[in-house]
Every structure is written in C-alpha cells, then in structure tokens.
Homo-oligomer: A and B are copies of this chain.
Amino acid sequence: MSASSHPLDVATQLEPQGEGRYRGHTSPQYANMVGPFGGVIAATLLNAALGHPDRLGEPIAFTVNYAGPIADGEFDLLAQPARTNRSTQHWQVELRQNEQVAATATGVFAARRETWSSVEARFPEVPPAATLPRYPNVGRAQWTRCYDMRFVHGEMQFSAPAQPQQDSASTLWIRDEPPRPLDFVSLLAISDAFFPRIFVRRPLWTPIGTVSFTTYFHADATTLDAAGDAAVLGIARAHQFRNGYFDQSAEVWSATGALLATSHQIVYYKE
C-alpha cells in the first residue's frame, strides 16, 4: 500500500487481488524465533482494511487471533466490512496459508468528532530516551533489530546472573529502526513489540505464543503525525500467569505525553 522502502512498509505490503483479497508475504527482517513477528502480521491485517476502497474513518479497535503457525513465504488475506454504519465500520479479516486459516482479525473503524476529552492514565517520570543505552538485539529474534529499544526498567535477562524478578512490568522507549514516521500500522506493530512478560519475570526459556491481541487506538492520524519518528514510551505488565496462559496490558505514549494506544493480549506458555 506504500511506496516506501522502509522494512516495515515492505513487510506489510499487499498486492490487491480484488474484492477484498490481497496477497502478502512474510519478511526475513521481521522473522521471530519461529515464524514471523506477530506484530507485523497484525499490522499487515490492519493494512488490508486500511487499504480497502470501502474503508470508512480510522481504526478504533483491532483484534487479532493467531490461529496457527505461519510459514515463511506468501499468504492470502480476505478483508471484508461486516457492517458499515453512518460513522462506524466493522471489519473481518482472515489470513490463510495453504488453505488453512492462520489468523483472524476484527476491527472497528470510525470517523471521530471532537468531544470533551480527558486522560486518566499518567505519563510516568522517565529519563529521556537519548540518555539510556540501546538494548542489544535478541539472538535469533531477527525482528528485534528493527526496533530501537531503551529500557527504563524490566528488560529480559537471560544471561547470568539473571534472577527471577518480583514482577514482569517493563517501561521502555521504542521506535522503528531505521526511524519511520508513526502511523496506525507501525503503532499496531509496536504495541505487540513488548517482550513476553514471562521472560521478563523468569530467566528461563519456554515456548510461548500470543493467541489473542487487541489494540485500542486513542489517537487519530493527526496526533500520530505529530509524534513523527521520535521514540514512543511503552509500559507493559501482566495480571496473571496461570496454567499455560498469561495476559499482558500495555500503554503506548508519545514522547510529548499523548496516550496513543492501550493494548492487551493473552499468551500461551508451555511451562
């Protein structure tokens, strides 16, 4: 959908096939330990709705369910409005590979109007991104090279003398690497770019995988434009790890203190 050669635009690029059908592909730059980074898959599903000729307004809510493994290579998307109202539109998007559903998504888009507004969450006191060291990329998770992450606290620590932590909360500055102006596509990917809470809490490797991921967009395109390509502040925590599934709730703030998105997910872990 974009002529940009930024790796995120290349990774989320779609070839329209008509009637809401698109051909997409995984991107080696956003490879994860196994399969692609889920945040870029979500961004690609969103991109299908964003680029659809019938699209109304801007995204308010987007939910992706990761239904099965996605192999390196091409995949097919089908994006359809389930219902269009005067100022809102409901979307269903499906990702298929080898005739099997590998992900489903639903989204709500809306034309916003100016109203009474108020933010109740608080932007924390944190040192500026430039004063913090860049987190090194993570071994086989190629996608981590596509982000500049600077942790205020709550890094993943796999190397000795790593200790189990009291909690799994993290606060970090994050931006696309190379820098790229923020938009809905990159914000959605960033809202899934928090390391799995279980790896922040416990320095033990176990297979994990997000099963359901929802982002609420609190910002419109104008607010995202104003954020430019500066780092955004991410805050993530878990409520509970229990019998194979843990949750994560996150906030994404602009550097100037606008709450851009809140995001939630539930993640499988093996042990």
B212 touches A214 (CB 8 A): yes
Contact of A240 among B65, B112, B169, B259 (CB under 8 A): B259
Closest to A100 in B: B83
> How far apart are the CA atoms of A201 and B116 in the complex, in Å?
12
A residues 83-131 in Cβ contact with B at 8 Å:
83, 85, 88, 90, 92, 94, 100-102, 104, 106, 108, 110, 112-121
Contact of A218 among B168, B218, B239 (CB under 8 A): B239
The oligomer's copy count stands at 2
A residues 62-85 in Cβ contact with B at 8 Å:
63, 65, 67-68, 82-83, 85
A residues 248-271 in Cβ contact with B at 8 Å:
249, 251, 259, 262, 264, 266, 268-271
Chain B residues positioned under 8 Å from A102 (CB to CB): 83
Chain B residues positioned under 8 Å from A90 (CB to CB): 65, 67, 101, 104
Residue A167 is within 8 A (CB to CB) of chain B in the complex:
yes
Measuring CB to CB, which residues of chain A are less than 8 angstroms from any residue of chain B? 60-61, 63, 65, 67-68, 82-83, 85, 88, 90, 92, 94, 100-102, 104, 106, 108, 110, 112-121, 167-169, 201-202, 211-212, 214, 216, 218-220, 237-245, 247, 249, 251, 259, 262, 264, 266, 268-271
> How far apart are the CA atoms of A65 and B249 in the complex, in Å?
19
Chain B residues positioned under 8 Å from A115 (CB to CB): 241-244, 269-271
Chain B residues positioned under 8 Å from A169 (CB to CB): 120
